[in-house]
Chain A
Amino acid sequence: MPNVIYILLRRLHTPLLLLIGVYAVSVLGFTLIPGVASGGEPYYMDFFHAFYVVSYTATTIGFGELPHPFSPAQRLWATGSIYATVVAWIYAIGSLIATFQDPAFRALIAQNRVRRAVQHMGESFYLVCGYGDTGSALVRALTDYGLRAVVVDIDPNRVSALELEDLRSYAPGLCADAVEPQTLIEAGLQHPRCAGVIAVTNFDMVNLQIAITAKLLRPRLRVVCRAESRDVGANMASFGTDHIINPFDIFAERLALALHAPGMFLVHEWVTSVPHEPLREPLFPPHGRWIVCGYGRFGKALHERLAVEDISITVIEANPAGTQPPPGSVIGRGTEAHTLREAHVETAVGIVAGTDVDANNLSIIMTARELNPKLFMVARQNRLTNQAIFAAADLHLTMQRSSIIAHKIFALIRSPLLADFLTLAGTQTNEWANELAARISAVTQEKAPHIWAVRLNAQDAPALWQALMDGETVTLGDLFRDPHDREQTLGCIALLVKHEEKEPLLPTDDYELTAGDELLFCGRYRASQWMDWTLKNENVLKYLLHGEAPRGTASVREPAPSERM
């Protein structure tokens, strides 16, 4: 704020000096010029009356000639001072309005507002740099989940888009260049409540700069970065960036997963989904030869992955000199029927349209569908705004870069246990995943599952912690009981327990809890609220354990039904 006042005062230097000068001369003139009193004797105005006369003439109020009718000399002076003072006022007010309308000044005011909002942040928040497709999806997911976000973007249009967005909590948006450390500091990098920095701007070098700034200024802060080139990714990893997201690698990995373990793919998609999303239908990609159109960064990552899975691939690439596709590739864009025929589209089982032009990708899909209607079709969607046409194209799988990054980052942020779970789940068989998928869909009923973590300590689970300290035996099954009727169960599944560095997957109901355990659950949002009640209220816990404590004496109020999910 002080900056704004200083700049305002500096801009108003000249108008203020002019006003003081004109007033001073006018007032002085009135005290020096003789007038005629009612009796005919000459009189001189004192300073008080002179100031009074100038004040009401300068503001064009004009009470008349006070205290006595003016002499001709006074009238002459009054005429001059009216013009001088009115012009001075108009100039001063004009300068004031011009200053307020100056874009630089308005930007400064907006910046101050954000800085104040960030300073007063009472809950932990994430600093999101870049509010493009990815950033906006991520901010929505974070706020829906109940976390706060501060946004930095260089484009004023995007910042105003954020202001118009209807989010659950206010996310301040700073319009500034995130490359400059000062910007990040203003956006709350050094704020004690800042929980992490997420760099998802369009430029790898900017993300790199953000990561290094964050790691130098707050070494222990979690930093998540998007890097489309592996070079920059390796660079980020070299100074300890916590998570580096390469959208091409991730999608290639997901597609490979979908091909060889559809059940695992489904579990992956479900537990990393964002709130309010419908559950994705199971996919069953066929086995056989695939066609990949476009051998850029995405095509290369996909080729690498699928080669590991032992899937044969035919590449179609328009610019073989620049991309160096593997031998046996077809040269062409893939949008024409003859290139697709050359790649033997009739005998292929699936096609991936992975060029960086959305119109070409759709064209490839449409042409390929005419040649072979049974193809499994995957397309890369580059721009979020093309959502409607990609939906209409009726594809089996759409790879939307921004949403993939947003999902991945959201999953990482939500709970570190979830990342552990996904790693461990990766080592399991597809049958295991199919069984888990069936259990998840039974408890969540067509909505994205809510994932929550619980730590059994005195702070997060006081009632349970006390019971464990008193030597009670509490099993996981006891936690799953419904506080309204202990014979019923809450619809949720324990995905993972972290117990003294050991991490058993899918613990059974007779698992005995110990203090300090960390648990990861999956289920409906309501189940997480009821469980929270059990963890915090000893009467409820007693009732669930032994079926005794009279209900209604609860010292903690029943949680209010929330509309979150």
Chain B
Amino acid sequence: MNREKVVFAFFIVLALTLNFGFVIGEIDNPHHHNVYELYAALVVSLIATVLKFGDRTHLGSVLLATSLVADLQLIAAALVWGWAENTAPAGLTPSTMAAIVSLAAGAVLANVTSVVMLVAETLTIRR
């Protein structure tokens, strides 16, 4: 068992699960989407990105790319939320909430790609 591989897989899968947990629920209902969950998803996604740095293989490069996409989507979602809470005249409206959740849903897709590739790579390794 390789500790590094465990940590790597852990963060990739955790990024997906947290992200999914945030997205699930009615898209425009603020009660269904917890801000802490978005925060956790963002932090874990950033950590997963850094873990992928420096892998020169083709797979490593694609994993890094999907991870960067997820980061970008989540940061955009967080920025929209921050803007809605603090500067938007109407506050957090259902339509803004929908925008935030759909951005985060995009990140889910990127994270799913990462996990699928990780699983695919694992399956090709024979013992």
Contacts and interface: CB of A to CB of B under 8 A. Distances in A.
B53 A10 contact: yes
B54 A9 contact: yes
Interface residues of B, number: 16
B86 A16 contact: no
Interface in A36-65: 46-48
Nearest to B64: A9
B56 A6 contact: yes
B59 interface: no
A27 B39 CA distance: 10
A117 interface: no
Nearest to A18: B50
Interface string B36-51: 1001000100110011
B12 to A, nearest CB: 14
B53 A9 contact: yes
Contacts of A31: 36, 39
A7 interface: yes
A48 B50 contact: no
B94 interface: no
A16 B50 contact: yes
Given A6-B56, A12-B53, A20 B43 contact: yes
A496 B39 CA distance: 83
A13 interface: yes
Contact of A28 (B39, B46, B50): B39
Given A6-B56, A20-B43, A28-B39, A47 B82 contact: yes
B38 to A, nearest CB: 8
A216 interface: no
A48 B43 contact: no
- Majority DSSP secondary structure for residues of B touching A: helix
Contact of A7 (B36, B46, B51, B54): B54
B79 to A, nearest CB: 9
B82 A46 contact: yes
Most buried by A among B35, B53, B81: B53
Interface string B62-88: 000000000000000010011001100
Contact of B54 (A10, A20, A24): A10
A130 B122 CA distance: 48
A347 to B, nearest CB: 75
A13 B82 contact: no
B70 to A, nearest CB: 14
Nearest to B83: A48
Interface of A: 6-7, 9-10, 12-13, 16-17, 20-21, 24, 27-28, 31, 46-48
Interface of B: 35-36, 39, 43, 46-47, 50-51, 53-54, 56, 78, 81-82, 85-86
Given A10-B53, A20-B43, A48-B85, 9 more contacts: A6-B53, A6-B56, A17-B47, A17-B51, A20-B47, A24-B43, A27-B39, A31-B36, A46-B82
